[in-house]
Amino acid sequence: MKKILVINGPNLNMLGIREPDIYGKQDFAALEEYIRASARELSLSVSLFQSNHEGEIVDIIQSAYGLYDGIVINPAAYTHTSVAILDALKAVGIPTVEVHLSDINSREEFRKHSFVSIIAVKTICGLGFEGYRKALEYFS
């Protein structure tokens, strides 16, 4: 069974509260359950991680080396700012799928640039929770 690490970045723990017109009304616990259920259906093993801190995200990526077959990451705001997360993903060399709940390409200009897209094998935007399932399907 393939092992996939799912990483969620800053403010995703505020789903259902933060801008529900953009990110939806379901909370973070619902997202995590959706990911777990999708992984079971696809016969994947998943580990879930969320942090509001860039260094913790870098640490979890580095600790994934040699342990995981793939990474699904929603770097959230760090998408547009974090060379450190990009460098960590490059360092471990684990195939990575980038996910965004909203369509970052149709939002503010600064959201259209993603450092993670440089290394990602695939980027999925604007599908809400379904984007995570599509990302997991890549590894199934």
Catalytic residue among 65, 100, 132, 138: 100
Residue 80 bears catalytic tag: no
Nearest to 93 by CA among 55, 115, 121: 121
Residue 14 to residue 102: CA distance in whole angstroms: 15
Residue 100 bears catalytic tag: yes
List of residues 6+ apart from 60 with CB closer than 8 A = 5, 7, 49, 51
Catalytic residue among 23, 68, 78, 132: 23
Active site residues per annotation = 23, 100
